[in-house]
Structure 1
Amino acid sequence: MTEAYVDSVALNAAAIKNGRDLVKKNSFPKLCRSEDETIIFGECKGSGKEPYRCSVDFVKPDSPVFRCSCPSRQFPCKHILGLMYAYVLGKEFQVDAIPQDIADKREKAEKREEKKKEAAATGEETAVKRKPNKSALAKKRAAQLEGIGLLEKLIYQIVQNGLAGLDAKTAKMMEDQAKQLGNYYIPGVQAAFRELLFILRTSEDRERVYTEAMDRLTVLQSLIKKSRDYLTERQQNPELPPDTESGLEERLGHAWQLAELREHGLARQQAEMAQLTFRSYTDEARGEYVDEGFWMELQSGDIFAVRSYRPFRAAKHLKEEDSFFSVVASKELLVYPGDLNPRARWEDMTVRDMKPEDYGTIRSHARRSYVEAVKTVKNQLKNPLSDKHPVMLLHYAKLGRIGEDYVLEDEQGKRIVLGDIPALGKPSTQLLPLLKHGDTRDQAMLVMFEHEFAEGRLLAQPLALVTSSEIVRFIY
């Protein structure tokens, strides 16, 4: 258990502060651990006469059990967090017998596990997967097709009137109709249309707005065509397997079950991941806060996006993610259909500190040929429905300036221009002059690409520098 791990299980920054404050105020008159250190438990002063009894049970290291007698809805509560912070910060924990109530709960859990193992051995246990209601599914697809038809009419109306003809009254009407798309089970399609409306409402630099709007219209037109073809085909043949090569299913509102991902071979076993960069941003079109980290699987070198979505209305009740500086080990890594950086998740995990060899492993996966790297990026950008901002780790022989631009140069002398891209909304290139002299040669840099329409060139914004001893993050 490390400080980074305790931070990771906290609901938000306020919970972290409250947990740490309990330790600073010496609010734990009793701190205990079992002899084998599989459980820590103690008492924390509360507002009443009786202290709160809290514990953290690591009998299953990758799936700890948190318990507290307080009435807080936040979980883990500040008392549990405080107990863990006290442990990792070196407070003295006396060895004591495991409380009887926890020992009883452990015994019941062990019996449940034994029954599961027996069921699995006899073949009685089957994968838990919800069976779809065929009639309801057919109605849903019919509604989705109707929603796609409505979107097509809205797009046709915008094109017919011209982008400059979208006045305030028309924009308000379009916004109301965009809300109606929420009734047709196509949340991703609805969000894509709302993104277009947000762009058209922007008053600054109209030429740039029109260029972006045309790109969005191209995406929407392709989304309409592919969605209609796909839904029609699934409607005619309900037994067809879902599309696992792209994110189309998710755009159409399909929530992938873990059992489905396993069934379609999208689960990886015994994976270790390291986070290379992290950011939080607001997605107005979806009405959500998004916490996004890019992680590398150490074995394969694949870079995944791990995202947590917090709807505006429920944000205060949902866990807020943060930067993570340790290595995560999970028995199973589940990968969603996608492009170069598909979304991934895991259920259980253990953590360990980064080792010197981990940095070497990460660097060994960096792409050394810019010709091949650019070709891969361009192939993705050609697909209208693909992620327009792929992330890649690049090895560079030199980092320097040509005129006003910073550039990375590979061992063959090929170059990639660095710059700040609008999609991130956070500049980072101004930090490059602060790098140490040794960091300008033979290092690896994580970048996010974007096609710059005005200049007609591919631009890459630096996200993190990976040396042989550290990861230097440019955004957080």
Structure 2
Amino acid sequence: MVALTEAYIDSIALNAASIKNGKDLVRKNSFPILNRTEDDTLLFGECKGSGKEPYRCSADFMHPEQPVYRCSCPSRQFPCKHILGLLYAAAAGQTFSVAELPSDIAEKREKAEKREEKKKEAAVTGDGASPKRKVNKSALAKKLAAQLEGIELTEKLLKQLATSGLVAADARALRQYEEQAKQLGNYFVPGLQASFRELIDCLRSEKSASSGYVEAAEQLTSLHSLLKRGRDYLTARIADPEMAISTDSALEEKLGHAWQFAELREAGQVREQVELIQLSFRSYSDQARGEYVDEGYWMQLHDGQLVATRTYRPFRAAKFIKEEDSYFHIVQTKELAVYPGEWNRRARWEEMTLRETSAADWQAVRQHAVKSYPDALKTIKNVLKNPLSDKNPFMLLHAARIGQTEDGYAMEDEQGKRIALGHIEAIGQPTLSFLPFIQEGSLTDCAVLVMFEDRLDTGRLQAQPLALIAEDEAIRLLY
């Protein structure tokens, strides 16, 4: 069984409310029956509910990397508060009586094992190779044609906007564009639809005229490039039905493709036996997409590659989708799927276990920090030149020292080269205000996770620190 700590239980909860409700059940002694099997692979019990009959809940750790939770309650949130309460009770050291494995759980385990065996048999061909998924070519052709129409419609809207002029886009005109953008939902291009809505939001914002129009012009340019590349790509796929889906860039995801784990595995985008450490984390709302986004910034310990995790929770269904939070343990996963992209690629996993973070892990992180600022800035500038790349790339840099200059805070490398630190508008959360409270020793010879932003209004590259990594700890400025 996995080590049941509060941190682990918090990590599987849907949101903060679920955590509170689960702990309240333990505090109120709502579990008259708490049992465990002799091999500790199953925790099960009964919890008092609003009805006459108690809710029967269980946590099955037969496969620790992929535990199974069950509850008889009608809640649509999962794991529900009763399961969380059961786990919190175990973590708190409450007594669980040894009992026989319930017959219904034994039956479910047996069925699950048979399903897993069938999957393994179906997943391997006679020569030992994994077969490709079957594709409905007729349906795919219709989808590609519809996406191409979506590109044409988006381009038409952009031309209308550009012809009338960004300055002339008043509130009434923007409402009309927003209504027209809803039509894009019929063409399988949710990424284009979100990008166009983002452009509308730029024009609607209350920023100063100069910065607002500069940001809108940047979004307009990026969207125009996406349309051009998207049209060429879709036209090529329609002409060649056997053409494989692109994994050379983030183009498919920018258009709105939702990658499945099986697709990424088939495309060779899955890495095996990976350990990751989270360096920083933030949550924000994306009005253009109509979703909350939980974003984590991670390093793969074996090679130092930085990746990002993103969980999208639509506003309307947010309470039913797990709300991600900061991780302070090492994540161990058998398979890490990495999305196509150019820099700070998005990653995800389906199964994981956790282990405690050690000083050796932080030393491993520090070894991968880039020491030359001119080289780092050259890399970041090249990344930002690509319109399909993330607008806010991040990098781990080594800082000989961090301190104040006449113009504010700056970090300096071993050759005396400096990077001025400031606030990135996209983050919306200042972090420099924490630096005066950090011990001076932690501001020298440290690794710094830095996010960048190209400020077109000033023509300068802005950098904001997200975390400091000292010899045996991380100081998160954004968590």
Any gaps of 5 or more consecutive residues in structure 1?
none
Note the C-alpha offset of 1:124: 9.6
Task: Identify the range of structure 1 (249-258 vs 4-13) with the bigger mean alpha-carbon deviation.
Answer: 249-258
2:323 pairs with 1:292: no
| 1:140 to 2:143 alignment | yes
Instruction: Output the CA distance in 2 between the equivalents of 1:94 and 1:407.
Output: 58
Tell whether the 8 Å contact from 1:128 to 1:259 is kept in structure 2 after alignment: no
2:20 pairs with one of 17, 27, 47: 17
Aligned to 2:77: 74
- Letter paired with 2:151: I
Task: Tell me what 2:398 maps to.
Answer: 395
Residue 261 (str. 1) matches residue 264 (str. 2): yes
In 2: Cα distance, 1:243 partner to 1:107 partner: 40
Superposition map of 1:307-326 within 5 A: 307-326=310-329
Using a 3 Å threshold, how does the CA distance of structure 1 residues 115 and 182 change in structure 2: closer, same or farther? closer
Greater CA drift, 263-272 or 248-257: 248-257
Aligned partner of 2:45 among 42, 47, 54: 42
Q: Say if 2:326 is the partner of 1:343.
A: no
Q: 2:7 maps to what in 1? A: 4
1:370 alignment counterpart: 373
Within 2, Cα distance between the matches of 1:111 and 1:216? 51
In 2, distance between residues paired with 1:118 and 1:177? 48
Aligned to 2:431: 428
Percent identity, aligned pairs only, is 61
Letter in 1 for 2:211: R
Q: Shift in Å at residue 204 of structure 1?
A: 2.9
Offset of residue 242 of structure 1 = 1.8
Once superposed, what is the RMSD of the aligned Cα atoms?
2.0
Question: In structure 1, what is the Cα distance between the partners aligned to 2:257 and 2:218?
Answer: 25
* Equivalent AA in structure 2 for residue 226 of structure 1: R
Whole-angstrom CA distance in 1 between matches of 2:167 and 2:368: 47
Residue 255 of structure 1 deviates from its aligned partner by: 2.1
Which runs of no fewer than 5 residues in structure 2 stay unpaired? none
Q: Paired residue for 2:177? A: 174
SS state of the match for residue 47, structure 1? Answer: coil
Which whole-Å deviations, capped at 9, do the CAs of 1:244-271 have from their partners, x for residues lacking one? 1211111222222222211221000011
User: Residues 114 and 219 (structure 1 numbering): CA distance in 2 closer, same or farther, change over 3 Å?
Assistant: closer
Residues 50-89 of structure 1 aligned to structure 2 (within 5 Å): 50-89=53-92
What CA distance in whole angstroms lies between the structure 2 residues aligned with 1:128 and 1:60? 26
Deviation of 1:116 after TM superposition, in Å, equals: 5.2
In structure 2, how many angstroms separate the alpha carbons of the residues matched to 1:217 and 1:256?
26
TM superposition score normalised by structure 1: 0.95
Q: Is the 8 A contact 2:124 2:130 kept in 1?
A: no
- 3-state DSSP class of the match of 2:26? helix
Higher deviation after alignment, 124-133 or 314-323: 124-133
**Shift in Å at residue 118 of structure 1?**
6.2
Structure 1 position 132, deviation (Å) = 2.7
Partner residue, 2:215: 212
SS, match of residue 167 in structure 2: helix
Of 29, 34, 39, the residue aligned with 1:31 is 34
Q: TM-score, normalised by structure 2?
A: 0.95
* Corresponding letter in the other structure for 2:353: T
Worse-matched range after superposition: 464-473 or 206-215? 464-473
Give 1:131's match in structure 2, choosing from 134, 153, 168.
Answer: 134
Equivalent residue pairs, number: 476
Q: Is the 8 A contact 1:38 1:58 kept in 2?
A: yes
CA displacement at 1:219 relative to structure 2: 0.6
CA distance in 2, matches of 1:131, 1:96: 46
8 Å contact kept, 2:36–2:97: yes
The one of 449, 453, 459 aligned to 2:452: 449
Q: How big is the shift at 1:111? A: 4.2
Check whether the contact 1:129–1:259 (CA below 8 A) recurs between aligned residues: no
- Which whole-Å CA distance do the structure 2 matches of 1:114 and 1:182 have between them? 39
Alignment of 1:91 onto 2:122? no
Query: Judging changes above 3 Å, is the alpha-carbon distance between structure 1 residues 358 and 220 closer, same or farther for their aligned structure 2 residues?
Result: same
- The amino acid of 2:28's aligned partner reads K
More moved, 348-357 vs 100-109: 100-109
Name which of structure 1's ranges 40-49 and 394-403 shifts more when overlaid on structure 2: 40-49
Residue 85 (structure 1) shift: 0.7
Measure, in 2, the Cα distance between the counterparts of 1:12 and 1:77.
11
Rounded to whole Å, the distance in 2 between the matches of 1:51 and 1:5 is: 26
Return the offset for 1:188.
0.9
Q: In structure 2, what is the equivalent of residue 301 of structure 1?
A: 304
Deviations 1:109-142 (A, max 9, x none): 3444455566678849985865332222222222
